Amino acid sequence: MKTLLNLIRHRQSATKLLFYCGVIHLLLALFFLILLPFENRVVLGINLWIKPLKFALSIAIYSLTWVVLLGYIEGEKIKKYFVRFTVFAMSFEMLCVATQAARGELSHFNQAGTYNIILYALMGVVIVLQTIFSLALSIRFFKPLSSALPETMVWAIRLGLLTSIFFAFQGGFIGQRMAHTVGAPDGGQGIWFFNWSIKHGDLRIAHFFGLHALQLLPAFVWIFKIKNKVPVIVFGLFYFVFVSLLFYYALLGNGFA
């Protein structure tokens, strides 16, 4: 948090726009939360504003995480391009999810009509490009950094980035299936808020924990004040295997009920 505040205090042009993107999506999440009790329509059995709420929170976390990460690498030009494209990509995804919710339509896997098909395809293209851009920028964390970032945190970021990007591409697999539930249609009984399937396999669980390795692994180092890189690497590998097993478990059609 101190690093984030320092970045904004110095008004670095390379990250300022992305910071505002994160803050705006936090406010959007609050807006969608306020809408929930006033909405009776449902999509896949849940209040239609829950999905935009989850996306807004996720985008806010993603944006603010990259604001911090960008402060540790050099290359103002590529950072500027990354920030601009990320703001565009996240805003486009949010716009699609929110407008589809307002229409009472699915934003993902929706093949009902030309508009929905094109919109879903564009969402897929944009998020793939964003993931590739993130991968290209992540390589810089495997080179010597100019900042005095502890080695343990560097390794947490490295492993978090690799895990996050790997399971971002796993989202493409879900998209090819045109469904996130295995063994039943989408929309069955699910865990509160997340709506992950209880009785059947749900590929979103591994997708969620994989994506947020980017926050969880650095948090592990920070919370437990790890001073040696070995525990970080071991935990990072364990975490990757654990999330991979969640993915495999879901592919078998297994739930948690």
Q: What are phi and psi of 72, to 5 degrees?
A: -100, -5
> Is the pLDDT higher at 92 or at 198?
92
Q: What is the pLDDT of residues 9-63, one digit of tens each?
A: 544 567 899 999 999 999 999 999 999 999 999 988 889 999 999 999 999 999 9
- As a whole number of angstroms, the distance between CA 256 and CA 92 comes to 34
Q: What is the pLDDT of residues 83-92, one digit of tens each?
A: 999 999 999 9
Q: What is the pLDDT of residues 121-130, one digit of tens each?
A: 999 999 999 9
In order of 103, 150, 165, 200, 225, the CA distances from 231 in angstroms are: 48, 14, 22, 34, 11
Q: Tokens representing 131?
A: 């993931």
Longest dimension (CA), the chain: 55
DSSP string of 190-232?
A: B-TTT--BSSSEETHHHHHHHHTHHHHHHHHHHHHT---HHHH
Contacts of 119 (CB under 8 A, 6+ apart): 96, 100, 107, 110
Residue labelled with tokens 């959007």: 28
Q: Mean pLDDT for the chain?
A: 90
Determine which of 28-37, 167-176, 203-212 has the lowest per-residue pLDDT on average: 167-176
From the CB of residue 203, how many other CB atoms can be counted at a distance below 10 Å? 22
Output the pLDDT for position 10. Answer: 45
- As a whole number of angstroms, the distance between CA 211 and CA 207 comes to 6
- As a whole number of angstroms, the distance between CA 155 and CA 61 comes to 20
Contacts of 69 (CB under 8 A, 6+ apart): 141, 157
For residues 180-188, average pLDDT: 82
- As a whole number of angstroms, the distance between CA 196 and CA 236 comes to 24
The amino acid at residue 254 is: N
- As a whole number of angstroms, the distance between CA 136 and CA 143 comes to 13
Cβ–Cβ < 8 Å for 44, 187: yes
Residue labelled with tokens 């591994």: 206
Output the pLDDT for position 5. Answer: 55
Residue labelled with tokens 């924990």: 209
Q: CA 3: distance to chain centroid? A: 21
Residue 213: pLDDT over 60: yes
Residue labelled with tokens 């339509």: 105
Cβ–Cβ < 8 Å for 181, 188: yes
- As a whole number of angstroms, the distance between CA 257 and CA 242 comes to 19
Output the pLDDT for position 11. Answer: 44
Share of the chain above pLDDT 70, in %: 93
Determine which of 3-17, 142-156, 238-252 has the lowest per-residue pLDDT on average: 3-17
